[in-house]
Structure 1
Amino acid sequence: MEKTDERTDVVLLAPGSYNPITIRHLRLFEVARDYLHFTGEYKVVKGIISPVSDGYKKKGLAEGQHRLSMTQLAVQTSDWIKVDPWECLMKDWTETVEVLRHHQQQQLVGMINEENMDQKSGCRKHNERKRDSSSQDVPNCICLECRAVPQVKLLCGVDVFESFGNPNLWKPEHIVEIVSSFGVVCVTRNGVDAQKLIYESDVLWRYRNNIHLVEEGITHDVSSTKVRLSLRRGISIRYLVPDPVLDYIKTHKLYSKESEEKNSDLVLEPLVRYTKNLQ
């Protein structure tokens, strides 16, 4: 009898500005996948990059069409990390918990569609048939009820994890839903005690078993902010971003001193939305 894989299927979802995407963004996926596989409990089936929309109003945020194109170029050689444009194409900023809900629903829809295709084709994709008591051939289908929908988990760096402590950036009820219903895979870095962040938060402590802290063995002190600064200083960023991304930046002349001032007269959308709710 063939041994079944009892690991839980996981989809790693990483929303973010990607302004621009760097090699460290891509490494987060690889490091997180290795960690989850090594636990023996999870099987990562997909990674999703979800660039934020222009409605986020972050200072220096390049236009969504550019950030979307750069992320797509960055993952063109990956066989498991994909870019989803749903969030980026929204006019208004979409809350992270809503992005997680959307992609969790998409996993269910995808499974239902796959099941329907199997039924229509007589489960030919499995190429297996079994006989019932009357010796008739019966498709050996995997029922939807017997299959677990892949779990969508938030993948982030420790800076996002630290921001959970800012009530003007996150709604408390959203943090509860994220850590309880989805789960977090946080890749930490030296100098930040993520365990302490969990210990000092009642919510994070309550759902600590659903939070995975992953230590990055080979650290990369690369960030989008430093990449943009280097570009303004005329310093090479080769090997800090994928080569196709570097070519795209040069072609479209992105990230100048002027572009860094974009949205400087605006307030970050979460701060506007949540501060208003607190008044």
Structure 2
Amino acid sequence: MENSAKTEVVLLACGSFNPITNMHLRLFELAKDYMNGTGKYRVIKGIISPVSDAYKKKGLISARHRVIMAELATKSSTWVEVDTWESLQKEWTETAKVLRHHQEKLEASNGGHQHNSPVLERPGRKRKWTEQRQELSQKKPLEPQTKGGPKVKLLCGADLLESFGVPNLWKSEDIAQIVGQYGLVCVTRAGNDAQKFIYESDMLWQHQSNIHLVTEWVTNDISSTKVRQALRRGQSIRYLVPDLVREYIEEHGLYSAETEERNAGVTLAPLRRNTADASA
């Protein structure tokens, strides 16, 4: 299938990235291979969006450091980049709003853009190409236009999918918007109950065609929590995070027993907001 017949996809990963690990980067590669392999999609970009400090998760260090580490981690990537918009918000921002922000940004930058237009090296070619394009459009409309341009999809692990079932952590309307309007690309391990979780949820089952489950056959148990634990114990984190990230952590002494107690006893922002809204 030609690229023109495929839906272009931008993978968006939201999270703490406290710190970013090799696992986070691996999720993008797994998701890209899967989506491209379906023959229906073409992944054109990956975006890492660290959450703002207002999220108030226990042990969450400054967004400034988390953004810099993510940028260092993606320095060698040709297609994954870091976006700071969410991290700079004074208030915690719902994931559905972050998805909408990036979708609108994409639409604004791609408005009227022809993905398959040749480069017009000389002014004299413009009229000729316009005539050819009009002739082609009469025969068959260009696929990218009918597909509506690039689509943002939320990239996540099975833990995020299952967190939809935690009371007051997500608004039901936000879940409906995320899976219905945008879609999920969920990386899960062989034997994981993600499919069962979808089956047991009426809302997820309704939008199951927009939830792509990617099996991670080469399992990876690296987590930010385990990295922080190793750092507190003075153990090596080499090969758990990119070398540039490790060097940055060591240079700034980022994680310790003290930083792990940051926001201790503080209610997580989504729980606080959604509980308040439910009781209002």
Corresponding residue number in structure 2 for 1:137: 128
Corresponding residue number in structure 1 for 2:264: 264
Contact 1:129 1:137 in 2 (8 A): no
Residue 178 of structure 1: how far off its partner (Å) = 0.5
Instruction: Please say if 1:197 is aligned against 2:197.
Output: yes
Opposite residue 108 of structure 1, the aligned amino acid is E
Describe the SS at the equivalent of 1:155. strand
Query: Alpha carbons of 1:253 and 1:173: their partners in 2 closer, same or farther (altered >3 Å)?
Result: same
Corresponding residue number in structure 1 for 2:119: 125
Q: Percent identity?
A: 54
**RMSD of aligned residue pairs (Cα, Å):** 2.5
Structure-2 separation of matches of 1:165 and 1:53: 23
Query: Alpha carbons of 1:253 and 1:145: their partners in 2 closer, same or farther (altered >3 Å)?
Result: same
Structure-1 separation of matches of 2:123 and 2:3: 17
TM-score of the superposed pair, with normalisation by structure 1: 0.90
Q: How does 1:1-279 map to 2 (within 5 A)?
A: 5-112=4-111, 114=113, 125=119, 137-139=128-130, 148-190=148-190, 192-279=192-279
Contact 1:12 1:154 in 2 (8 A): yes
| Structure 1 residues not aligned, in runs of 5+ | none
Structure-2 separation of matches of 1:27 and 1:14: 12
Contact 2:14 2:49 in 1 (8 A): yes
Residue 192 of structure 1: how far off its partner (Å) = 2.8
Query: Alpha carbons of 1:211 and 1:146: their partners in 2 closer, same or farther (altered >3 Å)?
Result: closer
Opposite residue 180 of structure 1, the aligned amino acid is G
After superposing on structure 2, the runs of 4+ consecutive aligned residues of structure 1 that deviate more than 6 Å are 128-132, 141-144
Residue 177 of structure 1: how far off its partner (Å) = 0.6
Deviations 1:71-113 (A, max 9, x none): 0000000000000000001111110000000000011011028
Structure-1 separation of matches of 2:113 and 2:199: 42
| Structure 2 residues not aligned, in runs of 5+ | none
Query: Alpha carbons of 1:252 and 1:230: their partners in 2 closer, same or farther (altered >3 Å)?
Result: same
Query: Alpha carbons of 1:248 and 1:129: their partners in 2 closer, same or farther (altered >3 Å)?
Result: same
Residue 207 of structure 1: how far off its partner (Å) = 0.5
Q: Paired residues, what number?
A: 269
TM-score of the superposed pair, with normalisation by structure 2: 0.89
Residue 156 of structure 1: how far off its partner (Å) = 0.2
Structure-1 separation of matches of 2:177 and 2:151: 14
Quick check: which one's helix share is greater? 2
